[in-house]
Amino acid sequence: MADRKTYHVDARRDGRWWFVYVPELDTAGQARKVRQIEGAARDVISLFLNVDPDSFDVEIFVEIPTAARNLWSEAKLREEHAREETDAAAKLARKAVRALLDDGLGETEAAQVLGLSRQRIHQLSATSANDVFQTRASKLAARAAAASSLASHPKTGRGAKLNR
């Protein structure tokens, strides 16, 4: 089975329409709505090459205005920092519970002192801080890679791939 050809497609707003450009073929089309970009790209490519619209793949990159792209990048960065702070706070909470239990308090007493349920104290004491931190770190790394996609094309103002 042969590999399917993938065409790179750039889409940007042009007035009330989306300009859909296929650089490899130096051809373009237009779409009225974002959800129509892929169909427009497939139509343009299939007409240009005289092939079936489902015989190839398209990779769509939507260009967004620089101001919106910068604001989005800042928002994603702040979300990332907030997640890191939340992880650090959770780790401290687990340590606090562990310290109370190591000091001889039972789960019920620790719950009363900290204003939590006994079940929550049990969860915090049973959770290995190291395992949770490592799992969360791998999730954070994946999110950071996704968030950086907007910043990967700073000169063109290109955004991320269109999610499908």
| Residue ranges per structural domain of the chain | 6-63, 71-151
Tens digit of each residue's pLDDT (9 = 90 or more) over 74-132:
999 999 999 999 999 999 999 999 999 999 999 999 999 999 999 999 999 988 545 45
Would you tell me which CATH number, out of the four given (3.40.605.10, 3.40.980.10, 3.30.1330.90, 3.30.160.250), belongs to the domain 6-63? 3.30.160.250
Instruction: Output the pTM of the full model.
Output: 0.57
Query: Which pLDDT band, with edges at 50, 70 and 90, does 50 fall under?
Result: very high
The CA-CA-CA angle for residues 112, 124, 78, to 5°, reads: 110
Q: How far apart are CA 143 and CA 124, in angstroms?
A: 25
